[in-house]
Structure 1
Amino acid sequence: MTNRKSTARLKAGHRHAVVLEQHARHAHLDVCPPELGKVRDRSHGSIRRILERLAPAGPVTRTQQQSARFRITT
């Protein structure tokens, strides 16, 4: 049993949009996957995978390797 609210699964394209939308609200900050996961009630692992996929394409930039922090590219 978990304390986490149950959330409906999002389709692949929607997950990317949700992450970018939340990240864009704080474009001036470096954020880590657990922070975004907590706000969106999603697993930080899935958020991290999305951010790592988006980084080479350009919408986000990885700013720290060790603690996996990202910033939206403006």
Structure 2
Amino acid sequence: MSATKVEHEARIADVRNAFADAIGRARYGDEVTVLTSRGKRVAALVSMEFYERALEALGETRVPADESKA
């Protein structure tokens, strides 16, 4: 089963100023915000549900970052 995703595209600087809006679109609207830098698509903000399904579909597991190395 495939579903169509609504995708917003925004510069990182613009998302920084309206981060709560981008989070809300992902969390409640299941919409993607693609972040751009200098015109290049560099990252995507997606819902946690979408992220977890993607990991499962790819057969990948998540590992918490070691904060002491940061």
Range class of TM-score, shorter chain: under 0.3
Higher strand content, 1 or 2 = 2
Task: With a CA cutoff of 8 Å and minimum separation of 6, indicate the structure with the bigger relative contact order.
Answer: 1
TM-score where L is the length of structure 2: 0.27
